[in-house]
Structures are given as structure tokens and as C-alpha cells.
Chain A
């Protein structure tokens, strides 16, 4: 019998397992009374929550929450929205004009993002004395950048690639502030990690070469990541994969045993569709 992970048990309770796995889990539960008891307890919790709060949906909506009323009374936001729309229109048309002059197709956000990251990489790896703003040894590096970028950041450990974290800096990003982490190898090779908020949905890895620099980018959960270094695609890919794994496990201790990454993703996407 294939091992059933705790993660899978949660997916099972939430009714998101594909049918073939569901049967496997049911068989598993028949032979593992402790897991069966947990599953029963989780189900009972969900039932209790629904029993307690589910009825709210049938209550009449109070007047103050009726949309037409909010629309009528909210003059100030109406004016604001109109002003914003005008600004957006002006900016939009200007941008369109500029783009028409420059090139036929405007680059998409992901490209702009990668260009920003490579630009920062190029600019700062050449710096001898001030490649970074805050050193890795300084305790406030991560809290500070996390706060400014808006998510809990952890600088991945790239020791396996002979890369040591020098430190980081804050940069103006495409949509929001960006953090740049710089790593250096024993031979002086420098690799940077660029991260900032993005409106792009989750993407796979994409590689781009500019001059002699390579940049591998992806986005996940509202944040875009770019790892830049010498143009060496297999190596950057390994670094990116290692980062990805480490960042995905960035939850505070004690973490429950997570399901195998690939199967969890598969299950999630099945449910999402």
C-alpha cells in the first residue's frame, strides 16, 4: 500500500482528492485507526463550524450593507475613483504613445521585471566597496527587507553552490519595492536574487540572457523572483530549484510533515479546476 501523508488526509477531508486516491486513502484509514480518528475529528470540527456560522448566509442583509446604499452615500470615493480613472487614462494613453514609438509590442510585466533584475545585478556586482547596503551579519537585514517588500523573506542558503550571502539592498521595483540579495563565491563570482511583488500569476522557470548574464525568473503567490549570475543555465537552474525548495519550506516550526511536493501540486490543481 502506498503511504498516505498527513497532507493528503487534509485534502481528503476537504473533498479535493481525485477518485483513485480517495479509495486508497479510505483503505489506508480502514487499517490505521489513529489516522481515522484524526480524520473524524477534523470532519467534526468542520461540521461544528458550519453548524455554528453557516446560517448567517440566510440572514437578511442589513441596510447599511446593501450595495446601492453604499453606492449612493459614497460620494467621496466616487470622485476619487473618477479622478483615478482620468489619471489612469492619461497615463495609459501616454504610455501607449511612447510604446508605439519605441517598439511594436510592449514588453509584458515578466520581461520588465527580468530587465529590472538584470539591470540591478549588472550595476551592483561591479561595485567593489558598496555592493550592498546592509551586510548579511546585521540582524535587521531580513526584517527590514521583509517589511518593505511586504512578505516574509528568507535568504536561501546557497552554500552547496559555494555561494555566501554578502547582504542585500532595497530597490524601486516595477510595481512595489524590491529586495536584492547578493551572494559571492570563493572565486569572487557574484549571484543576485531579486524579489518583488508582481501581478503575474504563478509561472514556471524562464531563462533570459543579456550580454554575458543569465537570469532565471518565476513567480508564485504574488511575488516574482529572479536569480541572476554568469550565463550558465544549468547552474542557475540548480540554484533556482534549491531556492524554490527552501522558500517553500519557510513556515515557522514545528511544521507538520508536508506531502510530497509534486503530488500535492497535482492535487491542488485538480481541485482548482
Chain B
């Protein structure tokens, strides 16, 4: 296996983690990773050195954006959130809240936030992945965090009352 292939191999678990958080669905996430790998192998001749990992994140991010665009063009059934569902306590509830909060963000903001907090990329690397200036990455990050905070603060009145 070439060094290039080895670098890709090493990145697969992290790509799965990133894709899972982006899509919040196991199968969709693994489809994205598979497409990313096929695309990367096919485009090996286009890779001119640099960080293979960042390159893979770029491919996956773009594929996901295309996926969301084509979803938006198609009419789909949206699951209706049940407001009356009892709020579970413990980590299960926290996990679901953060999933909902992530789902609410626009794609660019979600991508920026996940790349920094989950994947540990630097702002500069994220700027390259997203193809925007660092200032844009920072404002996406700021907006993502502000929106999640607003959602979590406002979305769980029960917890507030207890406090």
C-alpha cells in the first residue's frame, strides 16, 4: 500500500465521525465516507502534496453540500418533532438536544463548528476546506455557537424552572 493510501486509511475513522455528526444518520454518513474515498482514490493524480486529511475533509464537505442541495430540490417528508415527548434526563437527553441544535444550523456553520470542536482542525485549515477567508470561518463559528446557545437556553424551559 502506498503512503498516499496509508494516509487515507488512517483518516477513515475520523471521516466517519465527522460524517456522522454532519448527517446524524449512520447509513447516510457511511455513504458519504464511501463516496469520499472513491473520489479521493480516483483523483489521486490531482493531489499535489499537502495534508491528505484536510483534502479528504474538503471532499466530504463538498459532497455533503451537494447532497443537501439535491435534498432541498426534492420534496421530502420531514419528521415532526413531538413537543409533548417527555424530556429524558441524563446524557441521552443532552445528546438529543445537541443533535437537534446541530440540525438547526445552516450547513456552513455546522461544518465549521464540527471541524473545529470534533475534528480539531485549525481555523486556517477550515478556511481551506471551506474555500473562504479565515474571518468568514470565525463568523460562521460565532454564529453557530450563538444559535446553539439560544436554542439550548430557550428550548428547555423545564430545566430553567427547576433551577
List A residues at the B interface (Cβ < 8 Å): 6-7, 10-11, 14, 16, 38, 41-42, 45-46, 48-54, 56-59, 61-62, 64-65, 67-68, 70-71, 74, 77, 80-81, 84-85, 88, 151, 199, 220-223, 247-251, 255-256, 258-259, 261, 264-265, 268-269, 271-272
Q: How far is the CB of B126 from chain A (nearest CB, A)?
A: 10
Among B69-77, B81-89, B145-153, the stretch in contact with A: B145-153
A64 touches B34 (CB 8 A): yes
Interface residues of B in 119-136 (CB under 8 A from A): 122-125, 127-128, 131-136
Q: How far is the CA of A6 from the CA of B140 in the complex (A)?
A: 13
B98 touches A45 (CB 8 A): yes
- Chain B residue total in the interface (Cβ 8 A): 58
Contact of B21 among A16, A53, A255 (CB under 8 A): A53
B14 within 8 A of A: yes
- Chain A neighbourhood of B25, CB < 8 A: none
Contact of A250 among B91, B128, B136, B152 (CB under 8 A): B136
B41 touches A77 (CB 8 A): yes
B41 touches A57 (CB 8 A): no
Known contacts A48-B95, A65-B16, A258-B135; 19 additional CB pairs below 8 A are A10-B141, A14-B116, A41-B153, A45-B101, A51-B95, A52-B98, A53-B21, A56-B17, A57-B16, A61-B16, A67-B1, A70-B34, A88-B45, A220-B133, A222-B131, A248-B135, A250-B136, A256-B143, A258-B139
Q: How far is the CA of A239 from the CA of B131 in the complex (A)?
A: 23
Interface residues of B in 87-133 (CB under 8 A from A): 91, 94-95, 97-99, 101-102, 113-114, 116-118, 122-125, 127-128, 131-133
Q: How far is the CA of A255 from the CA of B1 in the complex (A)?
A: 47
- Chain B neighbourhood of A269, CB < 8 A: 124
